[in-house]
Structure 1
Amino acid sequence: METKLKTIPRVRVGPLCLFNIDEVFIWLVNHFYTSTSSIELENGFSFPITPLTIHTILGIPLGGFPIQTGPTTETFDFIRQEINMETPSIEYPFSLVSENMEEDKFCRVFLLIVLSVFIALNSQGVASSKFDSALVNIEAVAKHDWCLFTISYLVYSINKARNENNNGKHIFPRGCKLALVISYFEFLLAPGFSIPNSLPRLPLWTSNLSNSYMALDALHGSSNLFGRLPDSGGASKLPKPGHAVS
């Protein structure tokens, strides 16, 4: 397995981790404007989530070819043949990983796991086909605009959940929860915490740090309302729109 793991950096997908951030994510979704892809709070705090924001947080490829979210029949069939299942659950790709897998297939399955769990999580509990077109040619994976895809899928997921909920259903919005939550945390002033300036930002946000910020920012007497900590007045590690990341 160590040999196969060495192939992962070739597709330039950085380390991703998982914390229980559902409550603060839902709170932010309720203050997220899909028309501008921005967080706008009652206290005047406002910050757009741009492809550069996503790149700064996750370290995934920025710019390049847009991902065709409507795969052709041939593309859909190819990916499903690779994993031997037409509608795979999110858990299913984990069972495919083995030491004797061909390298491109291993990278493809690994990406399917990362994208299904962290970037394009959906409410059906199955792997989305919206990124299939970018997984056919493994050599070209890093040439696609994964940051733009991440934002587009988040906006799509939030709009879909809102429409379904307006029709009497109860759908939990999906998409990249980490990007939305960390972009908000980066603006908060938390006493006693000093976070390094390194990029990407995601590895710095450990479970302990994230849980501390959630606890400090939660309003007294509520487990699902936030906004207690002051913001830094724009002094964030995240770049402003139009600024480059070195």
Structure 2
Amino acid sequence: METTNHKKRDGREILCTDISTSSKKKYKRQNSEYTRIFLEALSTLPEQKKDIIRKLGFGSILSFSCYSNLQVIFEWLIYQFDTNSGTLSLEDGFTFTLSCHSAQMILGFPAGPKPVVRTKTMECSDFIMNIVKTHSPTVEHLCSLLSTDLNEDSFTVVFMLLLITAFIDPNATGVPNPAYYPNLKEIGSIPNLDWCSFTLDCLLRSIKKFLFRKMQNIELESGGCKILLVISYFEFLITSEFNLGNSVPRLPLWTTHVVNSYIALDSQQGNSRGFGRLSKKHITSTPFKGSKQQMEMPPEIKDYMELKFQGIASFQDKKRLQSLVSNFFHKMVQNSIPIVRGYVDDIQLVSSSSNKQEIDPTVGNEMQFSTQTKKNATTEEIKSKWLYTNRRKKFRKNEMEQFFQNMFLFHQIEVPKDNYNTSMDFKQILHKFSKGCSIGENSDGFDLPNNYPDYESSLLHPKDMASTIISNDSSVQFSEFLEQIKEG
């Protein structure tokens, strides 16, 4: 029996020796085979090496074990996929846009502030050559290196080459693209790269290439991370067979059994290549609830986080802090929805009055009425009636305190001195708050009108609050009223 395989690469074809029969046969490897080889190699690693992978931020791949054939459902999906917007639009009206955020929820990979680059250089090629000892390392060769006595940096490079070649951007040759080598030269910077956007970008490019070749009647298996698109779709399907919860990352939950079951359940009867049989959930019932995938944090925030957290050595600690900031940001955006609705209501209220008034939208998106509007008794009468004739809400003192805590956070009220007495000063602030407005203060808490401009949402985003409140019988902006409290 032969113990080695003789391989000759010609395009996508590999000439291999069948070990069991010593007979030679020619075949084309599928991308999924490289993924399987890679995942099986990871499963045999000792914990010490798995910890290196976890420290890099790719721990979710260690728990992933799906070997399903995704090609049929993947092709069904991409024919209904817009590669320009990254949006999946089905005939039944279902739409979902893939983004860096949704990719991170599925994959759990680092989504750092720096992009993954594509630049081929001789210096980086030599750097990789010194580690893997060949200019064209195959997936099989790289997997064999994983089990050797490599130092941590060399092991990291080999693992990343495999991750890119066999999972993120698999290709028919099973050989890494040298254009990705520069990303691996600085080991410490790997967790700071945006691997989620990179994975999504590779997927979109592969789909474009596949569809273009298809129009030319060229048979070619699509590359890219197929499981990313497939899971994005499966997360919306309604079935009583499985309850996968909403924990993230999602990748480890989608095993071969689960994926194969979803493929079978969603298949159209009598059409082996048709899907869409199952009903779809609303996005609020999925891990993507809140449409966060369309609420990317501004680059300024990402850059600032990178600057402030650069001294944190542990990737896991840094990721935890970044997650806290991300959750806080998305919570702010989510809580701004009622505020924007209130802004729309105010515009509608003024524009529908008997004397239509001009509204001056400012940079802060706050409502400002023209001089004529302020003097218009009819408009003020309508607004006053709208605020005071509605059922009143009740808020407890601890909720009001939380409100003012956030005021301090957003610098709407001057930060107190070191000898600040929280309990005593909050009582004074709350007293001024209730006295200055039409708010009822009693032993149970504070009463606000039911339509009092989305008080709860202002807890997280007071500065951009569009609606006005009535203080001392005059209409003032919310931020102005806080200034009155501060100065009073």
Query: Do Structure 1 and Structure 2 share a fold, with TM-score over 0.5?
Result: yes
Q: What runs of 5+ residues in structure 2 fail to find an aligned partner?
A: 1-45, 297-325, 329-488
How far does residue 196 in structure 1 lie from its aligned partner after superposition?
1.6
1:242 maps onto 2:295 in alignment: yes
Tell me which moved more, 77-86 or 133-142.
Answer: 77-86
Aligned to 1:19: 67
Please list the CA deviations of residues 48-102 of structure 1 after superposition, one character each: whole Å capped at 9, or x if unmatched.
1100011000100113101111232322332233212222223221111234211
- Partners of 2:243 and 2:327 lie apart in 1 by 21
- Is 1:123–1:173's contact at 8 Å kept on the other side of the alignment? no
Aligned to 2:219: 170
How far does residue 10 in structure 1 lie from its aligned partner after superposition?
1.7
Aligned to 1:47: 96
Please list the CA deviations of residues 87-125 of structure 1 after superposition, one character each: whole Å capped at 9, or x if unmatched.
222322111123421111011111211221111112333
Q: Give the alignment partner of residue 110 of structure 2, picking from 55, 61, 66.
A: 61
Q: How many residues align?
A: 246
Q: Which residue identity does 1:236 align to in structure 2? A: T
How has the CA–CA distance of structure 1 residues 45 and 94 changed in structure 2, closer, same or farther, with 3 Å as cutoff?
same
Q: Which residue identity does 2:72 align to in structure 1? A: E
- Partners of 1:56 and 1:201 lie apart in 2 by 6
How far does residue 183 in structure 1 lie from its aligned partner after superposition?
0.5
Map residues 1-246 of structure 1 onto 2, 5 A cutoff.
1-16=46-61, 17=64, 18-20=66-68, 21-234=70-283, 235-239=285-289, 240=291, 241-242=294-295, 244=326
- Partners of 1:245 and 1:108 lie apart in 2 by 31
- Is 1:57–1:182's contact at 8 Å kept on the other side of the alignment? yes
- Is 2:137–2:175's contact at 8 Å kept on the other side of the alignment? yes
- Is 1:122–1:174's contact at 8 Å kept on the other side of the alignment? yes
Q: CA RMSD in A?
A: 1.8
- The DSSP-based 3-state class of the residue aligned with 2:178 is coil
How far does residue 194 in structure 1 lie from its aligned partner after superposition?
1.6
Q: Which residue identity does 1:110 align to in structure 2? A: F
- Partners of 1:49 and 1:73 lie apart in 2 by 35
- Is 1:183–1:238's contact at 8 Å kept on the other side of the alignment? no
Of the two structures, which has the highest relative contact order with CA contacts closer than 8 Å and spacing of 6 or more? 1
Question: Which 4+ stretches in 1 moved above 4 angstroms?
Answer: 243-246
- Is 1:123–1:171's contact at 8 Å kept on the other side of the alignment? no
Percent pairwise identity: 35
Q: Which residue identity does 2:49 align to in structure 1? A: K
- Partners of 1:13 and 1:133 lie apart in 2 by 19
- Is 1:188–1:231's contact at 8 Å kept on the other side of the alignment? yes
- Is 2:58–2:108's contact at 8 Å kept on the other side of the alignment? yes
How far does residue 188 in structure 1 lie from its aligned partner after superposition?
0.7
Please list the CA deviations of residues 164-185 of structure 1 after superposition, one character each: whole Å capped at 9, or x if unmatched.
2333321111111111010100
Tell me which moved more, 14-23 or 4-13.
Answer: 14-23
- The DSSP-based 3-state class of the residue aligned with 2:96 is strand
- Partners of 2:58 and 2:120 lie apart in 1 by 22
Please list the CA deviations of residues 217-246 of structure 1 after superposition, one character each: whole Å capped at 9, or x if unmatched.
011122221110011132321252217558
Q: Which residue identity does 1:60 align to in structure 2? A: F
Q: What runs of 5+ residues in structure 1 fail to find an aligned partner?
A: none
Normalising by structure 2, what TM-score?
Answer: 0.48
- Partners of 1:207 and 1:223 lie apart in 2 by 19
Q: Which residue identity does 2:67 align to in structure 1? A: F
- Partners of 2:272 and 2:175 lie apart in 1 by 29
Higher helix share: 2
- Partners of 2:146 and 2:201 lie apart in 1 by 29
Aligned to 2:423: none
- The DSSP-based 3-state class of the residue aligned with 2:60 is coil
- Is 2:166–2:174's contact at 8 Å kept on the other side of the alignment? no
How has the CA–CA distance of structure 1 residues 233 and 4 changed in structure 2, closer, same or farther, with 3 Å as cutoff?
closer
Normalising by structure 1, what TM-score?
Answer: 0.92
